[in-house]
Structure 1
């Protein structure tokens, strides 16, 4: 029984990966349309020092945005800024430290940002990790759940009033949550969000990515009900050749390299969907959708479960110490 509970999710996840690779084999990567200038708008991109996050931050800065790269690697952050500035950058770019696995750090980051009195027009919740051995954060949460989902849940809620004040009808603020095709095989265990009963690194990762989609849809519903000028969307970059795969076993790493070179997207290609969600005119006022390769796509059946959305939201508020709005 225990073996089945581990093998079935793993088989589903690998099946998802094969489907994505087959799609990418026969379909070109999404090409961004001409995007409107973003002068005067402010964006926060988590995990923006490398990979998809770096490419997202770079593209938004080239459009004229003031981009705050939020990450936990100070040296990488310092190195990322001049690299972006060299790229015909029309906007401003800076680095700010935040450890998304620490609720205290997330609160400090949000408070520091709010104290500056800046508006916030785009929040790209991009940072993530995958395939880690079982680890726990200082707050007692499983690492994938904390970094990929819970830290972003708290950050978004802490900055939500700023997003609301910064948006206006016809020029909404936008929340962009980075999910993954693995969410199709994900299961949210409300009685075991820490995946402690039967730990699987892939299962924990898939759960965190499904949680992000559930969160996106519930947030959008609340924003629309309140008439607030903010939208929330989930995006899927496909399989991208980034450091996210650095935690693979050495044999798997060796097997992955030739495949990734041919079939994986580049970080810039992967970032195109988050940039599109953050800045495209076609996405003005559009929220509550799952975007993949430039198109709105049906996410998993589980992600549309309104009761599960509400239950996860309530539980997440309890875990991070927020009053449920």
Structure 2
């Protein structure tokens, strides 16, 4: 019981510190007509809010997710909003993508490439949190496989399209959804699947740290090659979404009243990702960790260039990519 009390108390303190309703919700963003975006996990929660907002700016938005019924419902809802004059939505569509399957990631990318569409914004939003120990289809620890490795492969396979679609003064943008939990994250390169000592909290934190390390290393390569693509990591704060559904029953009961008062709504949580994806102020700006729309220091470990390079090399091996 004391362990639960400590966790819930920490949850409340963090929520109190983070629940500043972002003024970003009221930021006027430039129109994005003619631009194309992919938002993973875009069928609900922050992903849906991100996709909806980008579509309202005039983007052709592809929401990628593994729930076909949810996807169809999301598309129908957005189209209905558009027909009622609640948004200037252009094209909004759902395409199946299971980030726990490297095969599915490759199939999704091939279908997208076959359409000949450009790609100006990639929001790597999909995620899972605090699931019991389990593996993906390819045998990776579930948090690491879904939150990080699936997005690592997706981004790399789409990178040439992003490079072709951007231009200097109007860069393509990659947005990686991280979390404040990355500050507590550690990486054991010899045990990324955490088989030695599994902790759902540790596994989640590790996956979010990996996304920040990936962000910094990729931006360094893009800058070195003078490519018109930027990549940033964002922290949405504590948001009342389905990610918390994996809390055990007593913690769930204690979390509900806290969430109603202190947690951010999905729209508030999505605001920094939307800002990073579309704001004029973020043009040409990459390699940042953003919270409430502000550049923020990430963990000391995330700036370790040797660890960034080592993770990149290991990730390429795990997903079957030749290291660029």
1-side partners of 2:13 and 2:153: how far apart? 32
Q: What is the CA distance between 1:188 and its match in structure 2?
A: 1.1
Q: What is the CA distance between 1:311 and its match in structure 2?
A: 0.1
SS at 2:31's partner residue? coil
- Cα deviation, 1:239-296, whole Å, max 9, x if unaligned, reads 0000010111011111000000000000000000000000000000000000101211
1-side partners of 2:323 and 2:9: how far apart? 37
2-side partners of 1:34 and 1:251: how far apart? 42
1:222 aligns with 2:221: yes
Closer, same or farther in 2 for the Cα pair 1:253/1:16, shift >3 Å? Answer: closer
Residue correspondence of structure 1 range 27-176 to structure 2 within 5 A: 27-32=20-25, 33-85=27-79, 86=81, 87-176=86-175
Task: Give 2:284's aligned residue.
Answer: 285
1-side partners of 2:206 and 2:23: how far apart? 26
2-side partners of 1:197 and 1:14: how far apart? 27
RMSD of aligned residue pairs (Cα, Å): 1.7
Q: What is the CA distance between 1:28 and its match in structure 2?
A: 3.2
- Cα deviation, 1:191-212, whole Å, max 9, x if unaligned, reads 1000110000010000000000
TM-score (norm 2): 0.94
Q: What is the CA distance between 1:22 and its match in structure 2?
A: 2.5
Task: Give 1:4's aligned residue.
Answer: none
1-side partners of 2:179 and 2:16: how far apart? 16
Task: Give 1:210's aligned residue.
Answer: 209
**Structure 1 residues 295-304 or 28-37, which shifts more?**
28-37
Q: What is the CA distance between 1:24 and its match in structure 2?
A: 2.8
Task: Give 1:3's aligned residue.
Answer: none
SS at 2:24's partner residue? coil
Task: Give 2:322's aligned residue.
Answer: 323
Equivalent residues, number: 316
TM-score (norm 1): 0.94
Q: Unpaired segments of 5 or more residues in structure 2? A: none
